[in-house]
Chains A and B, each alone.
Chain A
Amino acid sequence: MTEKCVFDVPQSVIDRATHYCPGCQHGTIHRLVGEVLDEMKLREDTLLVSSIGCSVFLYNYLDVDAVEAPHGRAPAVATGVKRARPDNFVFTYQGDGDLASIGLAEIVHAANRGERLSVVFVNNTVYGMTGGQMAPTTMVGQKTTTCPSGRCPESQGLPIRMSEIIAQLGGVAYCARVAVNTVKNLGQAKKALRRAFEVQATGQGFGFVEFLATCPTNWRMTPVQANERIAAELIPYFPLGVFKDAPKEECA
Chain B
Amino acid sequence: MAERIFIKGNEAIAHGALAAGCVCYFGYPITPQNDIPEFMSTAICEAGGQFVQAESEIGAVNMLLGAAAAGKRAMTSSSSPGMSLKQEAISYMAGSELPGVIVNMNRGGPGLGDIGPSQGDYFQAVKGGGHGDYRTLVLAPATCQEAYDLTIAAFDLAFAYKNPVLILGDAILGQMKEPVTAWKPEARSADEAASWRLSGAKGRPKRLIKSLFLEDGALAGQNLRLKEKYERMKAEIRFESFQCEDAELVVVAFGSIGRIAKSAVRTLRAAGFKVGLFRPITLFPFPSEALAELARQGKRFLTIEHNLGQMVEDVRLSVLPHADSAFFGVMPGNLPMPDDFEQPIRDCLGG
- Which residues of A does B touch, CB under 8 Å? 43-47, 49-50, 56, 59, 62-71, 73, 76-85, 88-89, 105-106, 108-109, 113
Asked if B67 and A84 sit within 8 Å, CB to CB, the answer is yes
B interface bracket (residues with beta carbon within 8 Å of A): 35 or more
> Per-residue CB proximity of B243-281 to A under 8 Å, as 1/0?
000000000000000000000000000000000000000
Q: Is B63 touching A76 in the complex (CB atoms < 8 A)?
A: yes
Given contacts A73-B89, A83-B50, A84-B74, contact A64 B55 (CB under 8 A): no
28 A–B pairs (Cβ distance < 8 Å), ordered by A: A45-B200, A47-B200, A66-B210, A67-B210, A68-B96, A68-B209, A68-B212, A70-B62, A73-B89, A76-B58, A76-B59, A76-B62, A76-B63, A79-B59, A79-B63, A80-B26, A80-B63, A80-B66, A80-B69, A80-B74, A81-B66, A81-B69, A82-B66, A84-B50, A84-B66, A85-B70, A88-B200, A109-B55
CB closest chain-B residue, reference A88:
B200
Taking the closest CB of chain B, its distance from the CB of A197, in whole angstroms, is: 15
Q: Which residues of B contact A56 (CB under 8 A)?
A: 212
User: With A and B bound together, what is the CA distance between A249 and B177 in angstroms?
Assistant: 42
**Are B201 and A64 in contact, with the CB atoms below 8 A?**
yes
Contacts of A49 in B (CB 8 A): 66
Whether A65 and B66, one on each chain, are in contact in the complex, defined by CB atoms closer than 8 angstroms, is no
Our pick among B23, B62, B206, B211 for the contact of A73 (Cβ within 8 Å) is B62
B348 in the interface (beta carbon within 8 A) = no
Is B15 engaged at the interface, CB distance under 8 Å to the other chain?
no
- Would A83 and B62 be within 8 Å (CB), given that A65-B207, A109-B55 are in contact? no
Q: Is B24 an interface residue, CB under 8 A from the partner?
A: yes
In the complex, which residues 53-106 of chain B have their Cβ closer than 8 Å to any Cβ of chain A? 54-56, 58-60, 62-72, 74, 88-89, 92, 96
Q: Does B317 lie at the interface of the complex (its beta carbon under 8 Å from any beta carbon of A)?
A: no
Nearest CB in chain B: distance from A94 CB, A: 13
6 residue pairs, one from A and one from B, having the closest CB atoms: A80-B66, A80-B63, A76-B62, A84-B70, A109-B55, A44-B202
Question: Which one of B52, B70, B88, B96 contacts A81 once the chains associate, using CB atoms below 8 Å?
Answer: B70
B208 adjacent to chain A (CB < 8 Å)? yes
Contact of B66 among A44, A59, A64, A76 (CB under 8 A): A76
A67 touches B24 (CB 8 A): no
Known: A67-B65, A76-B54, A80-B63. 13 other contacts (CB 8 A): A44-B203, A56-B212, A65-B198, A66-B208, A67-B198, A67-B209, A69-B92, A70-B62, A76-B58, A77-B66, A81-B66, A82-B66, A84-B74
The verdict on B199 contacting chain A, using a C-beta distance below 8 Å, is yes
Q: Are B70 and A46 in contact (CB under 8 A)?
A: no
Which residues in chain B, 31-68, are within 8 Å of chain A measured between CB atoms?
50, 52, 54-56, 58-60, 62-68
- A79-B201 contact, Cβ under 8 Å, with A68-B209, A69-B62: no
Contact A80 B65, CB 8 Å, known A64-B206, A66-B209: yes
Question: What is the number of contacts between chain A and chain B, taking CB atoms within 8 Å?
Answer: 142
Pick the contact of A80: B67, B201, B203 (CB < 8 A). Answer: B67
Q: How far is the CA of A69 from the CA of B95 in the complex (A)?
A: 12
A44 touches B200 (CB 8 A): yes
For B65, what are the chain A residues with a Cβ–Cβ distance below 8 Å? 67, 69-70, 73, 77, 80
On chain B, the residues within 8 Å of A108 by CB distance are 55
Residues on A with beta carbons closer than 8 Å to the beta carbon of B88: 70-71
Q: Given A56-B212, A70-B62, check contact A77 B201 (CB 8 Å).
A: no
A46 to B62, CA, bound (A): 19
Given the complex, which residues of A lie within 8 Å of B66, measured CB to CB?
Answer: 49, 67, 69, 76-84
Chain B residue with the shortest CB-CB distance to A87: B200
The CA of A69 and the CA of B64, in the complex, are separated in Å by 11
Identity of the chain B residue whose Cβ is nearest the Cβ of A65 in the assembled complex: B198
Look across to chain A and name the residue whose beta carbon is closest to the beta carbon of B59: A76
Q: Specify which chain B residues have a CB less than 8 angstroms from the CB of A62 in the assembled complex.
A: 206
Given known contacts A44-B202, A59-B208, is B62 in contact with A106 (CB within 8 Å)? yes
- Closest A residue to B91 by beta carbon equals A70
Q: How far does the alpha carbon of A82 sit from the alpha carbon of B67 in the complex, in Å?
A: 8
Tell me the bound Cα distance from A63 to B204 in angstroms.
Answer: 11
* Chain B residues whose C-beta falls within 8 Å of the C-beta of A69 in the assembled complex: 62, 65-66, 92
Report how far A106 CA is from B210 CA in the complex, Å. 20
**Interface pair A70/B202, CB less than 8 Å apart:** no
Contacts of B50 in A (CB 8 A): 83-84
Report yes or no: A47 in contact with B198, Cβ–Cβ below 8 A.
yes
- Rounded to whole Å, the gap between the CB of B58 and the closest CB of chain A is 7
| A79 vs B63: C-alpha distance when bound (angstroms) | 6
Are the CB atoms of B206 and A84 closer together than 8 Å? no
How near does chain B come to A16, taking the closest CB pair, in angstroms?
13
B70 touches A47 (CB 8 A): yes
**Contact (A67, B69) CB under 8 Å given A76-B62, A80-B26, A83-B24:** yes
Give the CA-CA distance A224 to B109 in the complex, in Å. Answer: 56
